[in-house]
Amino acid sequence: MRKQNGPVIDMTPDGNFVQPAQPTLGTIVARLVGFAVLLVIAAVAFWMAMFIIPIVIILAIAGFALTRPQIRRPLGW
């Protein structure tokens, strides 16, 4: 196998560089819409977490408080 020593330069036979294709307006709009949708999903997930985490903490404290007397009860009764 031949070892590559550097980047590949894309040139035409007359010595000009090949220009990459420019994105169309539709592509730009689609990317912006996709980014907006992902941003909304992230915002909703963050909003839900801010409401769910305190509820889970309260339920965990209540569960601990309700099961604590059962744990202290002697076995065999």
11: pLDDT confidence band, cut at 50, 70 and 90? confident
Asked if residue 52 belongs to a domain, the reply is yes
Do the domain assignments include residue 54? yes
pLDDT on residue 34: 98
Residue 11 has phi, psi (to 5 degrees) of: -130, 150
Task: Return d(Cα 17, Cα 11) in angstroms, integer.
Answer: 4
Structural domain including 49 reads: 45-72
Alpha-carbon gap, residue 20 to 29, rounded angstroms:
19
The structural domain count of the chain equals 1
Contact 17, 11 (CB under 8 A): yes
Note the pTM of the prediction, 2 decimals: 0.56
Highest mean pLDDT out of 2-16, 22-36, 58-72:
22-36
What percent of the chain has a predicted confidence (pLDDT) above 70?
87
Average pLDDT over residues 51-62: 95
Q: Are 10 and 18 in contact (CB under 8 A)?
A: yes
Measure the CA–CA gap between 49 and 14, rounded to whole angstroms. Answer: 60
